[in-house]
A = this chain, B = another copy of it.
């Protein structure tokens, strides 16, 4: 339940269009709804400004379908992250209106066009081509939370002139999301160029001592540039969400 629908119900009661009983029943689920294997947090939209986002990994397709249906009743948009292609197909056969983005492994289910809420532009940069899936997850999250977002891929430090070519785009962004695997050096370099916040996203791209992204993560946490914070490995969603939160401030 978001602010808009809460107001609508209350006005409807105020104007006598809705009986108190019916309204009470509608509001009963504001706190949360217990569907046995999950407690849908319908209050999240009011409390945090965006409905609950579903973590798809470790849930069955059937569980995801039921959760989408429950959230969908109260909200304009449902996001599901980390959904494999197979699960997505099962879900799609029940809910034909979902968008599934295979590279980002993300389901988006929305009733209306998203309205813009962010103050500035969010720029997503990726160090390599192999980092694109994570960068896309960040891009789609930020976009669907009502932000203007741009993305530039494969501008890592091995050919740093490629990055400097985008200096103008970089300077114009209000928030930057920088996605990198391997040695994870890109966020430090970008953060050294701007006064804006940089959200660093390590990816599991690489081999040997990249340790599934740990090296990039630790490098980013050690950044000698101070306008950098970090999210979990491959957590494009978290970066997009956080960027969106600060872009509304």
Interface residues, chain A, with chain B CB atoms under 8 Å away: 31-32, 36-39, 41, 43-44, 47-50, 52-53, 55, 57-59, 63, 67, 82, 119-120, 127-130, 132, 153-162, 165, 174-175, 182-185, 188-189, 191-197, 199, 202, 204-235, 237-238, 241-242, 245-247, 249
Which residues of the other chain, B, contact A43 by a CB distance below 8 angstroms? 159, 161
A8 to chain B, nearest CB (A): 20
* Set B32, B156, B211: member contacting A218, Cβ < 8 A: B211
Which residues of the other chain, B, contact A38 by a CB distance below 8 angstroms? 129, 153-154
A40 to chain B, nearest CB (A): 9
Which residues of the other chain, B, contact A63 by a CB distance below 8 angstroms? 129
Distance, CA A32 to CA B227, complexed state (A): 20
Which residues of the other chain, B, contact A242 by a CB distance below 8 angstroms? 197, 226-229
* Set B44, B58, B128, B195: member contacting A48, Cβ < 8 A: B195
Which residues of the other chain, B, contact A249 by a CB distance below 8 angstroms? 119-120, 174-175, 196-197, 246-247, 249
Q: 18 new A-B pairs (CB below 8 Å) besides A197-B245, A227-B241, A229-B230?
A: A43-B161, A44-B159, A48-B227, A50-B195, A52-B159, A59-B130, A128-B224, A158-B188, A158-B223, A158-B224, A195-B245, A197-B246, A197-B249, A199-B229, A204-B208, A207-B232, A208-B221, A216-B219
A229 touches B231 (CB 8 A): yes
B217 touches A233 (CB 8 A): no
Interface centre among A41, A130, A224, A238 (most CB of B within 10 A): A224
Distance, CA A36 to CA B136, complexed state (A): 13
Which residues of the other chain, B, contact A165 by a CB distance below 8 angstroms? 31-32
